[in-house]
Amino acid sequence: MQTFITHNKTVSVFSAAESGAPVIYLNCFAGEGQKVFQTVQAAGSPPFTLVAISDLVWNHDMSPWDSPPAFKNSEPLTGGADDYLRIMTEQIVPTAENGIIANPQWRGIAGYSLAGLFALYSIYKTDVFSRVGSMSGSLWFPGFKEFIFSHNPERRPDFIYFSLGDKESKTRNPILCSVQQNTENIQTYYQSQGISTTFQLNAGNHYDHAAERTAAGIYWLLNR
């Protein structure tokens, strides 16, 4: 593993031994990159490099635009995704791939919760990523479903993976209760556009087995 810091973000590169292996970029809430990488490898995945970014300003870097707090006593979402995505594409991606022997076969982007929202949002702002994993993605985010239905990606993705816990929408929170319906509607929309997608409904709530669910999504992307 190699590590570097840029713009106060910690970037950990778990490199494949093989040249030309795909690279997946994972935005992390709490430095879970190593566990995810090892879990994907243990499942028998093809060779890949994982670039895990942590020390994010979560509610800022991962949110596409300003939105009020989704939870009582939580912080507002302050719409820094465009700025952070520029850091990713202009600083993190070139630096992370500087030590790779050959250009990657393809690049993917993945994330859990707000990072799953960000992963999907990113393809509307850059053509760098061709596969997307949105695990328990915050697709309840106000206006996001409508944004997808009214915009075209910068690059049509080859594959998109969605997952959700089966208890995540079972909440009295009027914003969060839309998450499963929105996720299913968005997946159906992409399928209607001829994009290969899947939706996995896992047992449990949002906080159950996050690293394992993330690994499952990455494993699926690697095996297409």
Structural domain boundaries of the chain? 2-222
Band (187; pLDDT cuts 50, 70, 90): very high
Distance, CA of 169 to CA of 178 (rounded, Å): 6
- pLDDT, residue 39, reads 97
Band (173; pLDDT cuts 50, 70, 90): confident
Band (215; pLDDT cuts 50, 70, 90): very high
Band (185; pLDDT cuts 50, 70, 90): very high
Question: In this structure, are residues 18 and 39 in contact, taking their beta carbons and an 8 Å threshold?
Answer: no
Question: In this structure, are residues 167 and 130 in contact, taking their beta carbons and an 8 Å threshold?
Answer: no
Q: pTM score > 0.75 for this model?
A: yes
Band (69; pLDDT cuts 50, 70, 90): confident
Is the pLDDT score of 138 beyond 80? Answer: yes
| Cα 35–Cα 37–Cα 39 angle in degrees, nearest 5 | 65
- C-beta neighbour count of 223 within 10 angstroms: 11
Band (148; pLDDT cuts 50, 70, 90): very high
For the CA atoms of 77, 121, 56, 24, the dihedral, rounded to the nearest 10 degrees, stands at: 160
Is the pLDDT score of 174 beyond 80? Answer: no
Q: What is the largest CA-CA distance in the chain?
A: 51
DSSP string across 161-196:
EEEEETTTT-SS-TTGGGHHHHHHHHHHHHHHTT-E
DSSP string across 195-221:
-EEEEEEESS-TTSSHHHHHHHHHHHH
Calculate the alpha carbon distances from 87 to 76, 108, 120, 142 in Å: 22, 16, 17, 25
Q: What percent of the chain has pLDDT over 70?
A: 100
Burial of 182 (0-12, 13-18, 19+ CB in 10 A): buried
Alpha-carbon Rg for the chain, nearest whole angstrom, is 16
Distance, CA of 130 to CA of 186 (rounded, Å): 17
Band (206; pLDDT cuts 50, 70, 90): confident
Q: What CATH number should be reported for the domain whose range is 2-222?
A: 3.40.50.1820
What does the pLDDT average to over 15-44? 94
